[in-house]
Amino acid sequence: MTTRGLRRHLTSGFMTGLVALLSFLAVVSLLLILGDLVAKGASSLDWNFFTQNPVPAGQSGGGVANAIVGTLIIVGLAALIGLPVGIGTGLYLAEYGSGRLGWVVRFVADVMNGTPSIVIGIFAWTWLVRPWHFSALAGAVSLAILMVPMIARTTEEMVRLVPHSLREAALALGYPRWRTSLRIVARTALAGIVTGCLVGVARIAGETAPLLFTALGNLNFSTSILQPMQTLSLQIFTYATGPFDEWHRLAWAAALVLMGLVLLLGVAARWAIRQRDGTAR
Amino acid sequence: MRLRGGFFLSMPGCYRSVTDVAYVSRGMTTLPIDPLATPGAVDAPAPRPRWRTLRGANVGDRLYRGALTALAVVLPLLLLTLLAELVVSAWPAIKQFGLPFVWSSVWDPVAGVFGAAPMIFGTLASSLLALCIAVPLALGVAIYISEFAPKWIRQPIAFLVELLAAIPSVVYGLWGVFVLIPFLRTWVVPPLRATLGWTPLFSGVFYGSSLLAGAIILAIMIVPYIAAVAREVLLAVPASQREAALGMGATRWEAVWTAVVPYGRAGLIGAVILGLGRALGETMAVTMVIGNRHDIGLSVLQPAYTMAAALANEFSEATTDIYLSALFEVGLILFVVTVVVNALARVLIWQVARGTAVGSRAL
């Protein structure tokens, strides 16, 4: 082999090693973060943590029961508002989205997908907080707005994956278009749509920025959606930026719980998409 | 499925295209004229085009389409309202401070004088610095997964890197405050200052919260986005590109670097710009580690501020109308900048895989 050929092969080997190393670094950073979460958070997870409300600053003990319940309520409410709109928009894009309106909606969805969540938070504030007051509902609305474009685009892609022959078969048998769309097409794509929804919910579950001045946070246990409400993400922010060691300990534990919730939704999403290969068609 | 009585439609060629079948439905038999009965039907007294007639025949279809359209219109309307709401609320500040708002660095809520230059600078500086760290990392991941990695390891790596995107922003912030900053303080900053302390980039006292910490956190956060889109772009490059390069005697790396990467260049740049868009608007993690100081400093070791962080910190504290309005203007600038950046990224990505919108699924 000539020197030049050797050099070229060495470069190739070196660069292969380099990109492998970079991938390794990216994976390591993930493992480091997850490892720290478990190492610093797991020891604080006890019965009290899940069942008690926060205690006044300076005292030890207490838990985040109100934040866990608040997260579930706000995320559930956001899903209730956001999922129908998102799925409907996605179905529209897949079924009728070839015209000009389809193009506009698709473009707007992509643009809003990249909009900073804090800007959405301000928007929800002008709508629901400025004329009224801080409430869990305002927080849920801001999360729903974040969710819609994401779910619309995944629903569209999933529906588009349905083979055209299925649609033709249904139409040829005399199904009207709306029933074909709902009972044949959407049903075939159901696993994919569910996955998209779960991923969407997982992404908003950890959002903090849009909740800062909508749901605001609440030291007490509250289930009224018209009142300020605490969520895990807000709790982590407050505790992490506060001065007390006790708070920091609780912040790590709350972060571990939040991460667990998000991962659970992610695993459910993977499981749902796997069902598609098994059952449909 | 049960066929309904009186139903018929089995003649081929009676519809223009597959999708038009949809217009033919149950209601059809109630039409006064059967448009397909005889060849003479073409001259039959039919005042309207026949498919238009048929389209209107099924109430269910019309309702369905109407309902979906109503839902689909929500999103564009939201965007318009959002923009209008921001402009209207920011108007007093726009009128009072004019264009100098963008380059003035006075931020005095008490005197009611506002200029957003430090935040705009901080936003750009932290995002660009983050890109410098994230782009090699993300492109490395994408190239490794799509070109070099053994088959069995591709999926796990892709999954783990995507998992980085699942970590909530506030958790990144927590990790940044309690793990990254102490690490920087002990292991990274002292050698940096010893070797490069004489340059303005690394001068000054290191308190912990700093531009550097913010940029590193941002970099980790945007790696999965850039890597996912870049990977899809590389996978969309035709195999013939690689084969041609390899066939001419290129090494594997040369094939990637001279044939695959240039082919997907537009898409890769799009992926990077998409990452930039993410970084510009990222709020919580940055707010927690960047130090939140209204100041333009060259040193990466000193605290800085970003537009998103300013909104997060000050929005609920804004006591005067003009203060609030100035914050709205900051929000408006942030919004417009991210929209422009994202639109640019979309156009570039679409160029690589026209029509199939590679990358949109990864987001």
**Distance from A118 to chain B by nearest Cα, in Å?**
7
What pLDDT was estimated at residue A223?
83
Residue B71 in tokens: 């839902």
Q: Which of A178, A209, A248 sits opposite B178 (nearest CB)?
A: A248
In single-letter form, the type of residue at position A251 comes to: A
What pLDDT was estimated at residue B6?
28
- Any long-range contacts for A13-18 (C-beta under 8 Å, 24+ apart)? A13/B253, A15/B253, A15/B257, A16/B148, A16/B252, A16/B253, A18/B140
- Window 89-148 of B: residues touching A by CB (8 A cutoff) are 89, 136-141, 143-145, 147-148
What pLDDT was estimated at residue B200?
85
Q: Where are the domains of chain B?
A: 1-56, 100-352
Q: Which residues partner with A229 through β-bridges?
A: A216
Residue to mutate among A4, A7, A12, A23, with most B CBs inside 10 A, is: A23
**Distance from A171 to chain B by nearest Cα, in Å?**
6
What sign does the dihedral A14-A15-A17-A18 (CA atoms) show?
positive
DSSP B113: E
CATH code, residues B100-352: 1.10.3720.10
Determine, for residues B175 and A181 on separate chains, whether the beta-carbon distance falls below 8 Å: no
Residue A140 in tokens: 């849920």
**Distance from B204 to chain A by nearest Cα, in Å?**
24
**Distance from A128 to chain B by nearest Cα, in Å?**
12
Instruction: Determine contact: A201 vs chain B, CB below 8 A.
Output: no
What pLDDT was estimated at residue B111?
86
What pLDDT was estimated at residue A1?
63
Which chain B residue is nearest to residue A176, measuring alpha carbons?
A: B25
- Among A10, A147, A12, A37, CA closest to A89: A147
Residue with tokens 């909740």: A211
Which chain B residue is nearest to residue A199, measuring alpha carbons?
A: B166
What gap in Å lies between CA A106 and CA B309, rounded to an integer? 29
Enumerate the residues of chain B whose CB falls inside 8 A of the CB of residue A110.
342, 346, 360
Q: Which of A23, A40, A209 sits opposite B141 (nearest CB)?
A: A23
What gap in Å lies between CA A104 and CA A31, rounded to an integer? 40
Query: DSSP for chain A?
Result: --HHHHHHHHHHHHHHHHHHHHHHHHHHHHHHHHHHHHHHHGGG-SHHHHHPPPPPTT------HHHHHHHHHHHHHHHHHHHHHHHHHHHHHHHHTTSHHHHHHHHHHHHHHTS-HHHHHHHHIIIIITTT---HHHHHHHHHHHHHHHHHHHHHHHHHTS-HHHHHHHHHTT--HHHIIIIIIHHHTHHHHHHHHHHHHHHHHT--GGGTTTTB--SS----TTS-B--HHHHHHHHHHSS-HHHHHHHHHHHHHHHHHHHHHHHHHHHHHHHHHHH--
In single-letter form, the type of residue at position B247 comes to: G
- Determine the angle formed by the axes of helices A100-113 and B321-352, rounding to 10 degrees: 120
Q: Please state which architecture CATH assigns to domain A71-273.
A: Orthogonal Bundle (1.10)
Instruction: Determine contact: B164 vs chain A, CB below 8 A.
Output: yes
Q: If residue B354 lies in a helix (H) or strand (E), which one and from where to where? A: none
Cα A76-A79-A83 angle, rounded to 5 deg: 160
- Among A79, A59, A81, CA closest to A71: A79
Residue to mutate among B17, B54, B55, B68, with most A CBs inside 10 A, is: B68
What pLDDT was estimated at residue B29?
35
Q: How many residues does chain B have?
A: 363
Determine, for residues B173 and A237 on separate chains, whether the beta-carbon distance falls below 8 Å: yes
- Window 216-275 of A: residues touching B by CB (8 A cutoff) are 216, 233, 236-237, 240-241, 248, 251-252, 255, 258-259, 262-263, 266
Residue to mutate among B11, B54, B62, B75, with most A CBs inside 10 A, is: B75
Which chain A residue is nearest to residue B78, measuring alpha carbons?
A: A145
What gap in Å lies between CA B164 and CA B276, rounded to an integer? 17
Residue to mutate among B170, B272, B327, with most A CBs inside 10 A, is: B170
Query: Is there a contact between A225 and A77 (Cβ–Cβ < 8 Å)?
Result: yes
DSSP B22: G
Q: Which residues partner with B108 through β-bridges?
A: B113
Determine, for residues A20 and B148 on separate chains, whether the beta-carbon distance falls below 8 Å: yes
Q: What is the dihedral of CA B246, B250, B254, B260, to 10 degrees?
A: -30
Q: If residue B114 lies in a helix (H) or strand (E), which one and from where to where? A: strand B113-114
Query: Is there a contact between A142 and A124 (Cβ–Cβ < 8 Å)?
Result: yes
Residue with tokens 């998000």: A262
- Among A197, A199, A213, A217, CA closest to A71: A217
What gap in Å lies between CA B168 and CA B279, rounded to an integer? 14
What pLDDT was estimated at residue B55?
53
What gap in Å lies between CA A36 and CA A251, rounded to an integer? 12
Instruction: Determine contact: A178 vs chain B, CB below 8 A.
Output: yes
What sign does the dihedral A47-A49-A55-A57 (CA atoms) show?
positive
Low-confidence residues of chain A: pLDDT under 50:
278-281
pLDDT (tens place) for every residue of chain B, 363 residues total: 333 332 223 223 233 333 333 333 333 333 334 444 444 444 445 454 444 444 556 788 889 999 999 999 999 999 999 999 999 999 999 999 988 888 888 888 888 889 899 999 999 999 999 999 999 999 999 999 999 999 999 989 998 998 999 999 999 999 999 999 999 999 998 888 888 888 888 888 888 899 999 999 999 999 999 999 999 999 988 888 899 999 999 999 999 999 999 988 888 998 999 999 999 999 999 999 998 888 888 888 999 999 999 999 998 888 888 999 999 999 999 999 999 998 888 888 777 655 444 443 433
What gap in Å lies between CA B29 and CA B13, rounded to an integer? 19
Q: Which of A96, A116, A149 sits opposite B338 (nearest CB)?
A: A116
Determine, for residues B175 and A33 on separate chains, whether the beta-carbon distance falls below 8 Å: yes
Query: Is there a contact between A237 and B168 (Cβ–Cβ < 8 Å)?
Result: no
Enumerate the residues of chain B whose CB falls inside 8 A of the CB of residue A213.
315-316
Enumerate the residues of chain B whose CB falls inside 8 A of the CB of residue A26.
137-138, 140-141, 160-161, 164, 223, 227
What gap in Å lies between CA B46 and CA B130, rounded to an integer? 66
Enumerate the residues of chain B whose CB falls inside 8 A of the CB of residue A264.
none
Q: Where are the domains of chain A?
A: 71-273
Determine, for residues B65 and A178 on separate chains, whether the beta-carbon distance falls below 8 Å: yes
Instruction: Determine contact: A25 vs chain B, CB below 8 A.
Output: yes
Determine, for residues B136 and A119 on separate chains, whether the beta-carbon distance falls below 8 Å: no
Instruction: Determine contact: B20 vs chain A, CB below 8 A.
Output: no
Determine, for residues B251 and A9 on separate chains, whether the beta-carbon distance falls below 8 Å: yes
pTM to 2 decimal places? 0.85
